[in-house]
Amino acid sequence: MSIQAAPRLPLKRQSLHKTRWGLVISIGFLALVLIAAIFAPLVAPFSPAAVDLLRVNSGPTPQHWLGTDALGRDILSRMVYGSRTALTGPIVVVLASTILGLLSGLWAGWAGGKIDAIISRIFDIVLAFPALLLAILAVALFGKGLIAPVIAMSIAYTPYIGRLTRQLVATEKNRQYVAAYKVQGFSAPWIATRAVMPNVLGVVGSQTTQNFGYVLVELAALSFLGLGIQAPKADWGNMINEGQAALVSGNFLPALIPSIAVVLVVVAVNSVGGWLSDKLGDPFA
Amino acid sequence: MRLLDVNELNLDIKVHGAPTLELLKAVSLHIDRGETVALVGESGSGKSLTARAVLGLLPSTATVTGTIDLGGVQVLKANGPELRALRRTRAAMVFQDPRSSINPVRTLGAHLIEPMMQEPGADKAALEKRAIGLLASMGLSNPEARMKQYPHELSGGMLQRVMIAGALMNDPELLICDESTTALDVTTQAAVIELLSTAVQERSMGMLFITHDLALAASIADRTYVLRNGVVQEHGETRQVFEAPVSEYTKALVAATPSMAGAPKTGAHISDSSQTPVLRVENVSKTYYLSGQPPVEALKNVSLAIPAGGGLAIVGESGSGKSTLGRIVAGLEGPDTGEMSVAGGEITGSNAKERRLKKASRVQMVFQDPYQSLDSRLTPAKALQTVLKLHYKLDAKAMNARVIELLESVGLEEKHANLYPRKLSGGQRQRVAIAKAMALEPRLLVLDEATSALDVSVQAQVLELVNKLRREQGVSVLFISHDLAIVGEICDELLVVQNGSIVESGPTAQVLNHPQHPYTQTLLASVPRPRWETNPHGAAEPQDADLEPAKNSSL
Amino acid sequence: MAPPQASGAKDPGKPVLAGLKLAAGKIGSFIFTVFVSSVIVFFSRWLVPGDPISFLLRGRSPNPEAIAEVTAIYGLDKPPLEQYWNWITGVLTGDFGRSLQYRQDVSEVILGRLPVTLGLVVMSGIMIAVLGLAAGICASLLRGTWADRAIIASMSGLAAIPSFVGAIVLIAIFAVQLGMFPSFGSGTGFWDMIYHLILPSLALALSFIAVVGRVTRSAMLEEFSREHVEVARSRGVTPVAVVIRHVLRNALGPILTVSGLLVAGLLVSSAIVEQAFGLAGLGSLLVSSVDRLDFPVVQAIVLIVVTAFVAINTLVDLLGPVIDPRLKAGEGAR
């Protein structure tokens, strides 16, 4: 059936030659945080646990650029060490959930039928548990720390990737190019992994970076609630928790600095993610 | 007396960071009261923009100069309320795709009376009564009940009748049809065209009929304008434009339009019936079971054969089962019952891979939409290499030579080899798809509506390419199409299917010139013919709209 | 009298029947999901190595009386399936067992905490709906202008503010600096509670307002681009009517679907806000129960949150066909 394409008007599209300053700053900032996390002992001016009761809640000084907290510990040093747990948790969760989700989603979407029904049903049940709730349940069972919540959240985030992948693969499977590959004698596993998968990765990648932000926030929330990383170990979440007491006395820095760090990392990751999904989703633009 | 006068209309679209697009250049056209005027052009010619400009529906990024006078109103100078009054009462438009033209979450009744309800002092009961009357005059049974139905409960042809009823709600002086029958099956198209001409005559409305199909324009319009790249190439009495075109472009367009080229042609007889047939299908049936819906019998006991080197066309409307047949022949689906063999003999092999490859080297397929059938991540060269690597052991040099040879055999040049599909035109993409299919030197090539998404001039070139491949490489062709007018160009045998069964078959010329089955006769009568030619098969029988099955897309 | 049905159209009885069947299927899958969730919540205890008595008595003195008491209350000497049966039949009659921490029925403890959490969730729900929809609709109507860009930018900023950060900032500004609102507790009496809950609900709502705003904007823009909108314009329908009847009306479906999914985040994040503002709600009860190893309470709250979340999404699903008649016919949504 011949259908004339409606006249297409050119879409407004970001000029390729224009530098995206937001993106450059985001990448720079993330690189900075990553370097700080990896080389924390070299970067941090003080030990994160060094208590100095003579200089409590000091505010910025030449020695303590970001001031000290209620126990006189250097906030900058605690921020630097805190970035380690802030980044490791999300990285592990995102990697694990993306791999699991891609595989199960590809399987469900490609196979269809009963396998699809079973996998989708499992996704539905896991989705009934909000990630943070599952993490709290894991803490209740296995005790506080990073390991139990990270495992729980890896499970909780798998269906987000899995459902998306499944839906994309199921749509993609019915496209003519897949039929064209079949007619030419390519095997189903070859088509699924070599032809369909790359076309799906762009969208999944965008969801993955978004998940990174969510997981970072949720793990920080867990330690803010006192259920994650335990004091005296430095983590952005428990720093906010500890800094909250000083808030009432008008001393905002101890709580505000880790708060700002969380927000900035999430914004930066989302900005890089947006760019990445544009790139992966439409590599020929 | 002039109803519409478009004078020196220029339309530019300027988007930040992109060069200005001059979409319409000094377009002038006029329509008198009671006159039907066709505006013909291929995709991108600016015909739809012209139609929208008449109603003042222009993108906000557009710069327009010139004048549009519609019954004394200066459209380009009119303000919002004036434009709305104009659209409600003086001019109405019927769009291409009825399925997306009506809000899916509102009832048809709400759609029909909506604009007139906004006039001061509107009487809902009177409007509904009028709408019901119009639905009845459009050949829809039970119009009262239709008012409460939702768009998804009706077929495309029925919806287009509802759209026309909606356009006629307040007796417009001008009716604009923008590819209004393009999405419909040929018999439905004929019935809708009939309705439109009746409505126009009864009300002595003016009509601006926009189409890509010259033959369709010839069947309905008094005068015709030919538009290309925003420039009017030619205009005049329709018959004169078609029989004595002046501009080169119009000449080429007329030549490329299949049914305009005179009596149905028949393809070259190059089949050799002494050998075993290249394709044999015996008593194949296929039924689809969709959850929550009655089972669809896509094919019922279909048998056919193609002799070596032969060309067989399968013609039918959407839902006839023709595409299912193509998919079964290409091995994309298995038949429920029945036998099929390609290139004689069973496909044997020690393992699944060998059988797959053997099967692929016997039959290949070219799909309808060249924008979907190519993997957007692969350049033509890469796509061909991927296929060749799977089937042959070639060293780098031989591979390269073969890729170039294949591209040249479908009329592409070396410079196209490394362009991504998005940089290729529709015709070029379809050539790449054909090259990919021919890379395996198959005995049988299945073409499933392979030219129907293309502009007519491109379609003509692709058909010629297929003929060339048939002559030079002796490949047999199974050509699946909805378009009776083009099958004669490449096929010597023709098979007409309806509702999953073969209703008629025989040599192409014989079936086209002496159709036996009533359905074939209806199909042929529905092919648009110039008004000045007498119809050899009698007038198209007006069909009851309710007989159209609600279509799901061709299975 | 029912109007005569058109030939070729569907039998009038059928859509209703199909609709009922669809609804029954959705309610069935709701029951199934909640059932499996209860199994997971109950048997999760078996994932922990060691015997259940010492698990339940973690952090408490394991003297013989305590052991005997716990064994008796939770029926730990019975087979696991019977334990589950006793628990789930109890839950269905409102008996969630006994809290180790409070030495009270779990249901009593929970009932005492419910009003604050409900107030918090309802208040921020209203803020999210009103502000999110308004921002999204405004942005879509003003698309391409500086106002649209300003709304998009502020929503991107808001979306990145987690509830604990929002809480910190709001406390710093409105409670400490300006002294306009209390920073702690839920007050006494209804109106005082509302007053106390304004800052917490706002902290909870911030990032969700941004999400709803963005979804609304893109759903509106998507519907704006549909052909039937241009058709309506071409027929002289006024801009206001086009926006309300053809754009907003059709955008409601996707907005509602996303909103249903947000409820999960809302329910869980309320724990964070309650902690930050010292509110005695379900969330802070969950946290303190985890802290004090009061597993029966944790189990109960997790099950309640999961059930509430699944129930709301089932409700959204059931509303679907009302908003989009195509869903009633069992056809795929858009």
Q: Is C101 on the interface with A (CB under 8 A)?
A: no
Contact B372 A175 (CB under 8 A): yes
Closest CA to A137 of C31, C301, B50, B223: C301
Q: For the segment A58-101, what is each residue's pLDDT rounded down to a tens digit?
A: 878 888 888 888 888 888 999 999 999 899 999 999 999 999 99
Closest chain C residue to A261 measured between Cα atoms? Answer: C165
Would you place residue B274 in the very low, low, confident or very high pLDDT band (cuts 50, 70, 90)? low
User: Do C60 and C157 belong to one domain?
Assistant: no
CA B363 to mean position of chain CA atoms: 26
Total beta-carbon pairs less than 8 A apart between chain A and chain C: 116
Contact A10 B15 (CB under 8 A): yes
Domain count, chain C: 2
Determine the Cα–Cα distance for residues C19 and C330; give it in Å rounded to an integer. 8
> Higher model confidence: residue B180 or residue B554?
B180
Would you place residue C62 in the very low, low, confident or very high pLDDT band (cuts 50, 70, 90)? confident
pLDDT, residue B270, reads 55
pLDDT, residue B263, reads 47
Q: Across chain B, what does the average pLDDT equal?
A: 87
**Which ranges of B265-395 does DSSP label H, i.e. alpha helix?**
322-329, 352-362, 380-391
Determine the Cα–Cα distance for residues A111 and A105; give it in Å rounded to an integer. 10
For chain A, domain boundaries: 29-280
B538 pLDDT more than 50: no
pLDDT, residue C208, reads 94
Q: DSSP 3-state assignment of B163?
A: helix
User: Do C85 and C119 belong to one domain?
Assistant: no
The strand order across the sheet containing B36-40 reads: B91-94, B174-178, B206-211, B36-40, B223-228, B231-237
Query: What CATH number did the domain enclosing C175 receive?
Result: 1.10.3720.10
Q: Is A10 on the interface with B (CB under 8 A)?
A: yes
Tokens of A58: 């000091």
Give which of C272, C273, C293, C295 to mutate to test A binding, by max A Cβ within 10 Å. Answer: C272
Query: pTM for this structure?
Result: 0.84
Give which of A12, A14, A125 to mutate to test C binding, by max C Cβ within 10 Å. Answer: A125
Determine the Cα–Cα distance for residues B388 and B408; give it in Å rounded to an integer. 16
Q: Is A113 on the interface with B (CB under 8 A)?
A: no
Provide CATH code, domain B34-51+79-256. 3.40.50.300
Total beta-carbon pairs less than 8 A apart between chain A and chain B: 107
Q: For the segment C145-176, what is each residue's pLDDT rounded down to a tens digit?
A: 899 999 998 998 898 899 999 999 999 899 88
Total beta-carbon pairs less than 8 A apart between chain B and chain C: 110
Interface of C with A in 14-53 (CB under 8 A): 29, 33-34, 36-37, 40-41, 44-45, 47-48
pLDDT, residue B540, reads 45
Determine the Cα–Cα distance for residues A188 and A197; give it in Å rounded to an integer. 12
pLDDT, residue A18, reads 58
Would you place residue B527 in the very low, low, confident or very high pLDDT band (cuts 50, 70, 90)? confident
pLDDT, residue A250, reads 77
Which chain A residues have a beta carbon less than 8 Å from that of B185?
A: 1
Return the amino acid letter for C259: S
Spelled out in words, what is the top-level CATH class assigned to the domain B272-347+444-452+475-555? alpha beta
Chains that touch C (3 or more CB pairs under 8 A): A, B
pLDDT, residue B292, reads 66
Nearest-by-Cβ selection for C162 from A140, A221, A243: A221
Contact C302 A139 (CB under 8 A): no
**Residue C49 within a domain:** yes
User: Do C159 and C78 belong to one domain?
Assistant: no
**Residue C273 within a domain:** yes
Determine the Cα–Cα distance for residues B187 and B523; give it in Å rounded to an integer. 6
C11 pLDDT more than 60: no
The low-confidence residues of chain A, meaning pLDDT below 70, are 1-19, 280-285
Give which of B103, B111, B128, B149 to mutate to test C binding, by max C Cβ within 10 Å. Answer: B103
Contact C228 B100 (CB under 8 A): yes
> Higher model confidence: residue B21 or residue C135?
C135
User: Do C54 and C174 belong to one domain?
Assistant: no
User: Do C165 and C259 belong to one domain?
Assistant: yes
Tokens 């990174």 sit on residue: A212
Our CA-based measurement puts residue C220 at a distance from the nearest CA of chain B, in whole angstroms, of: 14
Would you place residue B15 in the very low, low, confident or very high pLDDT band (cuts 50, 70, 90)? confident
Return the amino acid letter for B84: R
Would you place residue C16 in the very low, low, confident or very high pLDDT band (cuts 50, 70, 90)? low
Lowest mean pLDDT among B256-270, B463-477, C235-249: B256-270
pLDDT, residue A63, reads 83
For chain B, give the percent of residues with pLDDT over 90: 52
Contacts of B118 (CB under 8 A, 6+ apart): B84, B88, C236, C237, C238, C241
Q: Is B80 on the interface with C (CB under 8 A)?
A: yes
Contact B145 C330 (CB under 8 A): no
**Residue C24 within a domain:** yes
pLDDT, residue B387, reads 94
Closest chain A residue to C311 measured between Cα atoms? Answer: A128
Contacts of A127 (CB under 8 A, 6+ apart): A159, A160, A163
**Residue C99 within a domain:** no
pLDDT, residue B405, reads 93
Contact A180 B433 (CB under 8 A): yes
Around Cβ C211, how many Cβ atoms within 10 Å?
A: 20
**B496, B502 contact by CB (below 8 A):** yes
Our CA-based measurement puts residue B160 at a distance from the nearest CA of chain C, in whole angstroms, of: 13
Chains that touch A (3 or more CB pairs under 8 A): B, C
**Residue C322 within a domain:** no
3-state secondary structure chain C: CCCCCCCCCCCCHHHHHHHHHHHHHHHHHHHHHHHHHHHHHHHHHHHCCCCHHHHHCCCCCCCHHHHHHHHHHHCCCCCHHHHHHHHHHHHHCCCCCECCCCCCEHHHHHHHHHHHHHHHHHHHHHHHHHHHHHHHHHHHHCCCCHHHHHHHHHHHHHHCCCHHHHHHHHHHHHHHHCCCCCCCCCCCCHHHHHHHHHHHHHHHHHHHHHHHHHHHHHHHHHHHCCHHHHHHHHCCCCHHHHHHHHHHHHHHHHHHHHHHHHHHHHHHHHHHHHHHHCCCCHHHHHHHHHHCCCHHHHHHHHHHHHHHHHHHHHHHHHHHHHHCHHHCCCCCCC
Contact C160 A270 (CB under 8 A): yes
Q: Is A187 on the interface with C (CB under 8 A)?
A: no
Contact B179 A4 (CB under 8 A): yes
Would you place residue B104 in the very low, low, confident or very high pLDDT band (cuts 50, 70, 90)? very high
> Higher model confidence: residue A12 or residue C309?
C309
For chain A, give the percent of residues with pLDDT over 90: 52
**Which ranges of A112-146 does DSSP label H, i.e. alpha helix?**
113-127, 131-142
Contact C157 A128 (CB under 8 A): no
B487 pLDDT more than 50: yes
Contact B118 C18 (CB under 8 A): no
Would you place residue B456 in the very low, low, confident or very high pLDDT band (cuts 50, 70, 90)? confident
**Residue C319 within a domain:** no
Which chain C residues have a beta carbon less than 8 Å from that of B52?
A: 234
pLDDT, residue C21, reads 81
Domain that holds residue C266: 115-292
**What value does the mean pLDDT take over residues C121-144?**
94
Contact C234 B145 (CB under 8 A): no
pLDDT, residue B14, reads 79
The CATH architecture one would assign to domain A29-280 is Orthogonal Bundle (1.10)
Contact C237 B150 (CB under 8 A): no
**B218, B258 contact by CB (below 8 A):** no
Q: Is B333 on the interface with A (CB under 8 A)?
A: no
pLDDT, residue B554, reads 35
Q: For the segment A14-36, what is each residue's pLDDT rounded down to a tens digit?
A: 444 456 788 899 999 999 999 99
Would you place residue C15 in the very low, low, confident or very high pLDDT band (cuts 50, 70, 90)? low
Contact C41 A137 (CB under 8 A): yes
pLDDT, residue A53, reads 81
Q: Is B369 on the interface with A (CB under 8 A)?
A: yes
**C1, B136 contact by CB (below 8 A):** no
Q: Is B49 on the interface with C (CB under 8 A)?
A: no
Q: Is B15 on the interface with C (CB under 8 A)?
A: no
**B10, B26 contact by CB (below 8 A):** yes
Most confident of A57-61, B121-125, B128-132, B305-309: B128-132
DSSP B516-528: -SHHHHHHHHHS-
Closest chain B residue to A7 measured between Cα atoms? Answer: B44
Tokens 């190059």 sit on residue: B270
User: Do C78 and C138 belong to one domain?
Assistant: no
Q: Is B168 on the interface with C (CB under 8 A)?
A: no
Determine the Cα–Cα distance for residues C296 and C170; give it in Å rounded to an integer. 34
For chain B, domain boundaries: 34-51+79-256, 272-347+444-452+475-555
Closest chain B residue to C5 measured between Cα atoms? Answer: B145
Which chain C residues have a beta carbon less than 8 Å from that of A141?
A: 44-45, 47-48
Q: DSSP 3-state assignment of B261?
A: helix
Our CA-based measurement puts residue B72 at a distance from the nearest CA of chain C, in whole angstroms, of: 18
User: Do C155 and C53 belong to one domain?
Assistant: no
Determine the Cα–Cα distance for residues C126 and C266; give it in Å rounded to an integer. 12
Q: Is A142 on the interface with C (CB under 8 A)?
A: yes
Which chain A residues have a beta carbon less than 8 Å from that of B48?
A: 6-7
Which chain C residues have a beta carbon less than 8 Å from that of B546?
A: 6-8
Determine the Cα–Cα distance for residues C264 and C260; give it in Å rounded to an integer. 8
Q: Is B160 on the interface with C (CB under 8 A)?
A: no
C230 pLDDT more than 70: yes
CA C148 to mean position of chain CA atoms: 29
**What value does the mean pLDDT take over residues B262-291?**
71
pLDDT, residue B376, reads 86
Tokens 């290499």 sit on residue: B385
